Chain A
Amino acid sequence: MTTSTATTSTDFPIDVSKKGLGFNKPQQMGRKLWGPMWVMSIMAFPIALVLGIVRANAIAGGESEATIAALGHTTTGIMFIGFTAVFAAISFAIAGILGEFRKGGGETQELVSSEVRTLKMAPTAKILILGMAMGMMTLLIASIVHLVVAAQVSSGSLSLAGAETAAINLEAVRRLGVAVYLVAITFGLATIIRVLRFQAIRLRELV
């Protein structure tokens, strides 16, 4: 039976155990890592903003085009390190919420039932993890390439035209990375709906 027509907890793919299963590995990681990621993002955003203001002053002050191009790539690179981190923090926080449902649901069943039923990891949760990894790698690589291009154009080993071409290509890659991240987050939240439905059904079975 598919879960869309599920009316009992056994219609869902579940693990059955005597004790609650607690947090799984991704949930443990989410609980530990949302904080460092959040801190990284909250540091990167203002740094990038200040660099943007420095670049605006460089343009107004008639600085060399190489300096302006290098500052542009550096600003974008750091800003998107911030976005990479904040999207990771959001994904980890969603994993943490799923963990609370899994741990709390298991412990509650343990108190009142001889059988603890725990949802297996849903396909939507797997897409959250996969999408997060893909989005993170895409954004991180684009950000690092921005910083490399900044160094190259600054040292004169890359032409201004080359820097401009890189900016357009990297912008495209960054945007795709953001879209993948947002879709992954949507799937993570969709997993919460499934867990809520499972718990609403399971709770009534306990009496």
Chain B
Amino acid sequence: MTYAADAKLRPAEGTDHTESSKWRSRGISLAILGLAITTIAFFGNLVSVGQSGADQASTLAWTFGVTTTGFALTKTAIAVVLWGIILKLWLRADSIKHSLPKLVGTPGADSTPLGVIDTPFGKVAVADEAPGPLPIHKMAKKLFRPMVAMGLMTVVIGLIVSFVAAGTAPNISALAWMQGLQFLGEGMLLSGIAFMLGTILWAIRTAGGEVQESLGVKVYTPKMPGLAKGFVALMMLGLMVSIAQFIGYVVVAGSSDPASAFAWLGPFREFGLGLILAGITLSLVAIGKVLAFQFWRVQNLIKNGERS
């Protein structure tokens, strides 16, 4: 394996491509744990209907904290599985590198000019060398780990605050901090997931370029599609909303009558998460399109090769 790509973002030298992924099983276990925790809070919520006054306020406070923590664990599980995908993508690329020269034989002549061409999969750059990462790839690679870690920590701090709110109910200030912190954490976790998807797009692009380069053919790389641009815009906007809602809750924490502010901050914080999720959808669709392009390219190389 001789990828120029970051060593920390690919499997260790000599990793067996037939091995099952430990990240897959860890991710699934963590997701089930998250669901179990959310289910405990679900029953707590139902019990709170039979309560009143401070007792009900207390139950609603801790169930909020526990539920959001369950969500955060499941999102962390998604991040763990995505990490497993990144590692397996490289191992699959290794297999392509191993087999493609024999499947192609001597590559067929390619008269396509260098530059940008149109393909059934959109605009594609044709070059002699594998392209470097785009600015968004560089950012995604650097930021996915800190975002996931900080997001999880922020949610856990919010969980502790929810226990404080439950023990001192009704405590408006603690409730405001709890909601602000936990939704900031959720926003950061989702952004971390979005950055991991950006890293997957980078891995597919880089591996694809290096496979073609190693074969001695022109390197075809899809231009950044509109889907990916929309993904970045929605994710950034959603993260900004998540930060803004946190500031909003901190301001409200000092207020004696927060009912009006709580009425718009609730939908506002959910709006932020919704935007990030909409961005994540676009990145997944972009991954599908890039994969389709790569299969098309590999099949063309095989069809045009001397072995065919």
Contact = CB atoms under 8 A, between A and B. Distances in A.
Interface stretch (B144-152, B177-185, B256-264): B256-264
A45 B271 contact: yes
Interface in B1-50: 17-21, 23-24, 27-28, 31-32, 34-35, 38-39, 41-42, 45-46, 48-49
B46 to A, nearest CB: 6
Nearest to A95: B288
B35 A179 contact: yes
Contact of A94 (B42, B282, B284, B296): B284
Contact of B42 (A6, A89, A176, A201): A176
Contacts of A83: 270, 274, 277
Contact of A7 (B18, B274, B280, B294): B18
Interface stretch (B84-92, B110-118, B135-143): B84-92
Given A82-B274, A94-B284, A183-B74, A207 B264 contact: no
Nearest to B274: A45
A180 interface: yes
Contacts of B259: 59
Task: Name B's interface SS.
Answer: helix
A59 B261 CA distance: 9
A196 interface: yes
B103 A206 contact: yes
A99 B288 CA distance: 8
Interface string A33-49: 01000100110111011
B35 A104 contact: no
Given A175-B41, A175-B67, A196 B78 contact: no
A25 interface: no
Interface in A1-39: 3-7, 34, 38
Contacts of B96: 203
A75 interface: yes
Given A165-B49, A201-B17, A186 B74 contact: yes
Nearest to B77: A186
A190 B259 CA distance: 42
B242 to A, nearest CB: 13
Contact of B278 (A38, A55, A57): A38
Nearest to A194: B24
Contact of B299 (A107, A165, A171, A172): A107
Contact of A193 (B81, B275, B292): B81
Interface string B142-172: 0000000000000000000000000000000
Given A55-B263, A97-B284, A182-B74, 11 more contacts: A34-B285, A49-B271, A104-B295, A111-B302, A172-B46, A172-B63, A178-B71, A187-B31, A189-B82, A190-B81, A197-B91
Interface of B: 17-21, 23-24, 27-28, 31-32, 34-35, 38-39, 41-42, 45-46, 48-49, 60, 63, 67, 70-71, 74-75, 77-78, 81-82, 84-85, 88-89, 91-92, 94-96, 98-99, 102-103, 259-261, 263-264, 266-268, 270-271, 274-275, 277-278, 280-282, 284-285, 287-288, 291-292, 294-296, 298-299, 302-303, 308
Interface of A: 3-7, 34, 38, 41-42, 44-46, 48-49, 51-53, 55-60, 68, 72, 75, 79, 82-83, 86-87, 89-90, 93-94, 96-97, 99-101, 103-105, 107-108, 111-112, 124, 165, 168-169, 171-173, 175-176, 178-180, 182-183, 185-187, 189-190, 192-194, 196-197, 199-201, 203-204, 206-207
